[in-house]
Structure 1
Amino acid sequence: MARSEPDSRPSEARTRLLTTASGIFYAEGIHSVGVDRILAEAQVTRATFYRHFPGKEDLVLAYLDAADQAIRGQVAAAVAVGLAPVDTLRVVGEAIAQGIRSQGFRGCAFLNAAAEYSDPDHPVHRAVLAHRQWFLEAITELLARVREESAEPAALHYVMLRDGAMASGCLFDPELVCETFLRGVDGLLQAHAGRA
Structure 2
Amino acid sequence: MSGIPARQASPARLRLQEVADRLFTADGIVATGVDRLLSEAKVTKATFYKQYGSKDALILEYVVGRDSAAREALQALQAHASSPVEALRSLVAAAAGDAARPGFRGDPFTNAASEFTDRAHPVRVAVAEHRDWFTGFLEDRFRELGHPRPGAAADEFVLLRDGVVSGAYAGDAVAAVSAFERAAERLIAQPG
TM-score normalised by L of structure 1: 0.90
C-alpha distance in structure 1 between counterparts of 2:129 and 2:11, whole Å: 28
Asked if the contact 2:163–2:176 (Cα under 8 Å) also holds between the matched residues in 1, the reply is no
Instruction: Say whether residues 1:174 and 2:173 are aligned partners.
Output: yes
Q: Which amino acid aligns with 2:175?
A: L
- 2:4 maps to none
1:77 aligns with 2:76: yes
SS of residue in 2 equivalent to 1:31: coil
Offset of residue 88 of structure 1:
0.3
Q: How many residues are paired up?
A: 186
**AA in 1 matched with 2:103:** G
Higher gyration radius (CA): 1
CA distance in 2, matches of 1:95, 1:65: 21
Unaligned runs of 5+ in 1: 1-7
Query: What is the Cα deviation at residue 175 of structure 1?
Result: 2.5
How far 1:9 moved relative to its partner?
4.0
Give the CA deviation at 1:40. 0.6
How far the C-alpha of 1:29 sits from its partner, in A, is 1.3
Matched, 1:130 2:125: no
Kept in 2, the 8 Å contact 1:78–1:91? The answer is: yes
Residues of 2 paired with 1:112 and 1:94: CA distance? Answer: 22
Could you tell me how far apart the structure 1 residues matched to 2:35 and 2:102 are? 26
Tell me, which stretches of 5 or more residues in structure 2 are unaligned? 1-6
Q: TM-score with structure 2 length normalisation?
A: 0.92
Q: Which residue identity does 1:92 align to in structure 2?
A: L
C-alpha deviation, 1:28, in angstroms = 1.4
Aligned equivalents of 2:81, 2:99: Cα separation in 1 = 25
Q: Deviations over 1:5-62 (max 9, x none)?
A: xxx6422211110111111111111111211110011111112112221110110011
